[in-house]
Structure 1
Amino acid sequence: MDALESLLDEVALEGLDGLCLPALWSRLESRSPAFPLPLEPYTQEFLWRALATHPGISFYEEPRERPDLQLQDRYEEIDLETGILESRRDPVTLEDVYPIHMILENKDGIQGSCRYFKERKDITSSIRSKCLQPRCTMVEAFSRWGKKLIIVASQDMRYRALIGLEGDPDLKLPDFSYCILERLGRSRWQGELQRDLHTTAFKVDAGKLHYHRKILNKNGLITMQSHVIRLPTGAQQHSILLLLNRFHVDRRSKYDILMEKLSMMLSTRSNQIETLGKLREELELMSWCAVLSS
């Protein structure tokens, strides 16, 4: 993607809630692959103008300033050997800047979650003219509205960002399923744990979340893989990591890869049997016991 495509993509991925200017710069700074332009003031003004004149972008004033967006790396403490996230300290719960407020059966076809959907004020006409000419600079806009100024992509842009170029834009998802998909889009490469979605974000029973996850999986919109966290106490928490297709990363541990190689080797042996010594030699392992205990 070029710079402008990446810019629109970041706005679209933030969902119906949208994002304020500081959050936009934060998203672009942490974007992967890296955003191609330096986020200097003159670049920010150029990007602002691109958003202000784009017909698929709307601007709103929310009743309260948007809290700062805090990004956290889920894989910062992951053990590459085992694929287990080694939590060496008690997890710090970050404020959820986007609490779930689902929009249900909207007559205009709007889907997603938005805390101030009914309260926020559309100020797009103050940002640009009907001829798509900007009415204010970025500095002027931020001075006037601050972090109450929210940038939101159109429904079509948001849905396309979630389903990718291969997805069917005519596919109609239940509102609940769409909100899960939107949540995954906002998490980018980090993904969301199914356990966190049903206990913390949506606060519903596991069965309901599982049902809507199956809808997304059946339509080929998400990927799933096991995820294990080892707590400071030594206990392990098991869950399922959900990702949009476009952000899928195979995070299999070296142990999983080793087991796959072992299975393939045994499938070529007579009666699928081989001695530990021979397997260890072919797999170039110093200690078979060490592998099993990892």
Structure 2
Amino acid sequence: MDEIKGICREEIALEGLDGITFGSLWFRLQNCMPAFPLPIDDYTKPFIWELISSLEDVNFFELPTARPPITVADDAKEFSELLATYVWFDQVAVEPQQVVNDEESALRGCSTTYYTRKNITSEVRPETGKILTFAEVESR
């Protein structure tokens, strides 16, 4: 389980301050190298969610508008044998990034929604200990 948590944490972190949506996470896990050790299907998604929601260093946010899904054209996918990594080029229009220098939280980087998203970590992982289920979160 530590391996699965580690891979998920890496894929989430790679998105930087913008974070990652479920759709993008599932896509990235299905295409990561080395291969993710589990299939990404309706049976494993709730299990993966349970692991992710227990990661105390991961926060959860509600975006002001839905992010478009990742799409990859066949000619935009390049494989580098030297690095053994896939490089994906999203076909969606790139949103303008806003520089973030949040002195209160000591975070720096770029994000399209940092100042407009809503932190819902306390709703997802309340102090009562009842973490929202995958179905509850996905329906939001």
Q: Counterpart of 1:268?
A: none
Q: Which has the higher helix share?
A: 1
- Kept in 1, the 8 Å contact 2:72–2:91? The answer is no
Q: Counterpart of 1:113?
A: 110
Q: What is the Cα deviation at residue 40 of structure 1?
A: 2.1
- Map 1:39-78 onto structure 2 (within 5 A): 39-71=40-72, 73-75=76-78
Q: What is the Cα deviation at residue 109 of structure 1?
A: 1.0
- Kept in 1, the 8 Å contact 2:12–2:19? The answer is yes
Give the count of matched residue pairs.
Answer: 129
Counterpart amino acid of residue 44 in structure 2: T
Q: Counterpart of 1:6?
A: 7
- Kept in 2, the 8 Å contact 1:101–1:114? The answer is yes
How far, CA to CA, are the matches of 2:32 and 2:72 in structure 1? 11
How far, CA to CA, are the matches of 2:72 and 2:96 in structure 1? 15
How far, CA to CA, are the matches of 1:34 and 1:66 in structure 2? 25
Q: What is the Cα deviation at residue 131 of structure 1?
A: 5.6
Residues 51-89 of structure 1, C-alpha deviation per residue, up to 9 Å, x if partnerless? 11211111111110111122454437x9xxxxxxxxxxx
TM-score (norm 2): 0.80
Residues 160-212 of structure 1, C-alpha deviation per residue, up to 9 Å, x if partnerless? xxxxxxxxxxxxxxxxxxxxxxxxxxxxxxxxxxxxxxxxxxxxxxxxxxxxx
Cα gap change, 1:97 to 1:47, in 2 (>3 Å): farther
Q: Counterpart of 2:19?
A: 18
2:136 to 113, 136, 140: 140
- Kept in 2, the 8 Å contact 1:17–1:98? The answer is no
List structure 1 segments (4+ residues) > 3 angstroms apart after TM superposition.
Answer: 71-74, 96-99
- Matched residue SS, 2:35: coil
- Kept in 2, the 8 Å contact 1:16–1:114? The answer is yes
Q: What is the Cα deviation at residue 112 of structure 1?
A: 1.6
Taking CA–CA contacts closer than 8 Å with sequence separation of 6 or more, which of the two structures ends up with the larger relative contact order?
2
- Kept in 2, the 8 Å contact 1:61–1:123? The answer is yes
Counterpart amino acid of residue 54 in structure 1: L
Cα gap change, 1:67 to 1:129, in 2 (>3 Å): same
Q: What is the Cα deviation at residue 132 of structure 1?
A: 4.9
Q: What is the Cα deviation at residue 110 of structure 1?
A: 0.5
Residues 9-62 of structure 1, C-alpha deviation per residue, up to 9 Å, x if partnerless? 111111110011111100100101110111122211011011112111111111
How far, CA to CA, are the matches of 2:90 and 2:39 in structure 1? 31
Which 5+ residue runs of structure 1 have no aligned equivalent? 79-91, 146-294
How far, CA to CA, are the matches of 2:138 and 2:125 in structure 1? 15
Which 5+ residue runs of structure 2 have no aligned equivalent? 81-88
Tell me which structure has the larger Cα radius of gyration: 1
Identity %: 30
How far, CA to CA, are the matches of 1:119 and 1:3 in structure 2? 31
